[in-house]
Chains A and B, each alone.
Chain A
């Protein structure tokens, strides 16, 4: 049995479940309490769980992320919400130099069981300072795990294993997905280790994650009508990457398009390309291709924003380049 649910509701259910089942869990961030969350994910939780556990913070990402680390070291299971990845750069020192390093710096004596949630991505005309996708940067930091739920199932079930993990886990929620409705299957949970093939195909593998997943699936549908069977791989976990699933798809399809909303160069797409070349070079039947965001500040104007981002038609065009 499955039921229809929005991505936002799925995230809220996950939070409510975590808060209800473990007294060490609390949510902290800007506007998470009285305002109900910038994206209304935590709406109603303040009333349900009280101000001790749903804590509004000042606009001080560095400060409240550090507080979350302290709480985690002290035995709590904090969930820190940062409004968007754009502002998380202010907290980068706490995440990179403290949360990610404490196990190492303490010789294994301390772990930081912290969960940081934040929105990422563009497509809603909120201009450059609210529209970038830096999850690829986080995916390069040893010591943390990075998750990118794209489906309602992952939105509903990734939080529990993230909280159970003894090390910091950063979860990226794509801002364009909150209103997306999907079928939530009746499953007990999901893993936070593996990538998942969301659509099977043999002609080309489209490797993607997060908000781009649905553009890739749409492109695959268009391609299917033209006789090209595209496989779509949802990375789900950006760190550590599930190389085995990626390489299996590469070996099956031999042509690969990587779709990443991050900027074109020196990003997650580049890393995946490098791994494919390292691990599956002789399986390749064509040069690797990536469809990423243009290397510009994401524009405000709708037509320019659309032009700067990966889109289904660009993915289709990239795939067709393999079949002259």
Chain B
């Protein structure tokens, strides 16, 4: 299995390289650069000077190799817009925020979704099942930013239970950190929950109808033992496969939700970079986002082989 792991890791690194290269050339292939926007034809001389300073006047392939070299050393360049702050620092500040948001959303959504899925399957076609299914549909149909705004209206503006915006690091205490993150986490995690809940439900239904469960029942095992010890383990296999796609939804939800709740995470950095045509920032952010995705997909694949012994022996 370790050979499979090594192959997948190498493949992942190639993917990251490919994405970074694609991003690099695509950003520069389109006419218009950040300096024209900033100086608006008022001072073309200054624009040229800045261009030369940032090395944007050299031929593209030279820029590319320079960039590649610097990137290998961990230098992601400096932000063109604003105060020339190093991109690595911007990202390093933003990353923990996104991580907290996505992490909290992941944990809460996972627990809720799997519980709901199990209950739905065990009590199939009951009122509870229908309610859960309806909410799952709703969760998939709502734009997450809308849910975020609704949550703000209800909990922050009207009830005044929770703060509406901003981020507080964990170091300042658990409750401040949590209270600022709980609403965005719910908003970002809802589509993820919906998918995982439905998948858990259908997987559990399939497993509960299988032969060996019938044998377990005939043996006289308690329903609880059957559901949790035998059925659940096998039902989780297809759920893990869907996890990759669902996690992608979670991350893209986090990007928008950060905007709604004014959290200065990766999503916010990326979007500001785009609006300011700040190449180094956009490149750096996309690179980090790619690494996250590729890494997650790799993790899901490995998890999949670990959980399902059949795959391990086939590969």
Pair from one complex: no
